[in-house]
Amino acid sequence: MSAPRRHDGAPDVVLAAFDRSARTALADSWAASWPALLDGVRPFSGVGEQIAAWPDDLPVASLRDWPHGAQLAGRARALAVALGADSRQLHDALLALQPGLSLSVLIATSHGDTWAVSQFAADRGRSAMLPPVSAQTLLGDVLLDGYLEGLGRRWPGLTVSAACASACVATGLAAARIRQGASDACLVVSLDVLSRIAHAGFRQIGAMSPQGCRPFDRQRNGTTIGEAGAVYLLAGSHVQLPPMLRWRVKVCGFGQSCDARHPVEPSADGLERALRVALAEAACRPGDLAGVYWHGTGTVQNDRTEAVVAQRLFGGEAPPGTSTKGSFGHAMGASAALSILACGETLQSGHLPQVAGLADNEFPDMHLVQGSPRRLPPGPLAVAALGFGGINAALVLSAA
């Protein structure tokens, strides 16, 4: 079913993507990433040949076409600048249609620009002083500044950091800003890159797979850290959108919770609460959903938690489900952005991608898509996202 129009006087919110909406481990554009995702491509490998001075050996999912050289120094800011340049054409076309548009930018990131922090940690044995580059990175909004530099225009903005649920939380905040009249439109920019801090942290808690992420598989043994950058547009229904967009969908509902149950292990109670809030705002019942994009990291704890939530919400009648991390890897704060973009493609085409790497499904009641994409009937879709610290978020999207 399609979610009804809002009755509280607030405008409907549209989410729209364009061909260069994302740079991923599969391709340097979203237009090329989507068919690779449908094909179940798994690009995980070591990155010694791709990133100078990367010392670790576990497989990762790294960007293939790096905008400013394959190095760790300044990696996140360089990606932010590249994303700004990628979205300049859309931005300019939008303003050409409506010169007086009120626009804001929301940066979603789990780790931000970690290179300076890594350098500071490495230098602590030699000096007790905070190096200038570390001070500038820690105290300034480096990624927002970088994105606006690439965009070629200054706009008000803020950074949302909600661990690996950052992109979903930022999207919900952007929709709220539009409904409350704070902005006509928002650009949501999600990015996280490979860093020693993130890699070492995930490895230290035993969350990294030595073979590669296989969400929901009985033999899964961890996730695969990845990197990605994504940009998409949210706008009120009164905003005239340029024809260059790939598709537009409707943001029907958003829910979030922070249960603070455990520093790193997710809680079924918290995720269930976020999904039920999103469904209630969308005026949907669980059975109305045509499909679900689960968080699906490939860790034992995450996948088991989502299986519990699926049982509570749907019983044994869950709609088809998937996870994008078997192909993209776990892009941390940008991971939900890739699920949101894939969700838009599914609403447009009717095809739900398979869970790449899934051979032996431990949770048959989740009705996970396996082996090849599945054709879905029309209906709203849900996106689930979880983050360390007990952060949970969910979106319900429908065809516009």
Question: What's the whole-model pTM score?
Answer: 0.93
Q: Which CATH class is domain 13-236?
A: alpha beta
Q: What is the average per-residue pLDDT within 82-110?
A: 96
Q: What is the average per-residue pLDDT within 295-311?
A: 95
Give the pLDDT confidence of 107-138 residue by residue, as tens digits.
Answer: 999 988 877 666 666 665 566 666 666 656 55
How much is the pLDDT for 63?
87
Of all residues in the chain, the percent with pLDDT exceeding 70 is: 87
Question: Is residue 86 over pLDDT 50?
Answer: yes
How much is the pLDDT for 4?
36
Sequence spans of domains, the chain:
13-236, 250-399
Closest Cα partner for 109 from 11, 209, 33, 197? 197
How much is the pLDDT for 49?
53
Question: Is residue 83 over pLDDT 60?
Answer: yes
Q: Mapped to the 3 state alphabet, what secondary structure does the chain carry? A: CCCCCCCCCCCCEEEEECCCCEECCCCCCHHHHHHHHHCCCCCCECCCCCCECCCCCCCEECCCCCCCCCECCCHHHHHHHHHHHHCHHHHHHHHHHCCCCCEEEEEECCCCCCHHHHHHHHHCCCCCCCCHHHHHHHHCCHHHHHHHHHHCCCCCEEEECECECHHHHHHHHHHHHHHCCCCCEEEEEEEECCCHHHHHHHHHCCCECCCCCCCCECCCCCECEECEEEEEEEEECCCCCCCCCCEEEEEEEEEEEECCCCCCCCCHHHHHHHHHHHHHHCCCCHHHCCEEECCCCCCHHHHHHHHHHHHHHHCCCCCCEECCHHHHCECHHHHHHHHHHHHHHHHHHCEECCCCCCCCECCHHHCECCCCCEECCCCCEEEEEEECCCEEEEEEEEEC
Confidence label for 5 from pLDDT (cuts 50, 70 and 90): very low
How much is the pLDDT for 46?
64
Confidence label for 3 from pLDDT (cuts 50, 70 and 90): very low
Task: Tell me whether domains 13-236 and 250-399 share a fold.
Answer: yes
Give the pLDDT confidence of 176-196 residue by residue, as tens digits.
Answer: 999 999 999 999 999 999 887
Question: Is residue 2 over pLDDT 60?
Answer: no
Q: Of 62-71, 78-87, 221-230, which gets the smallest average pLDDT?
A: 62-71
When the pLDDT of each residue in the chain is averaged and rounded to a whole number, the result is 89
Q: What is the average per-residue pLDDT within 155-163?
A: 94
The dotted CATH code for 250-399 is 3.40.47.10
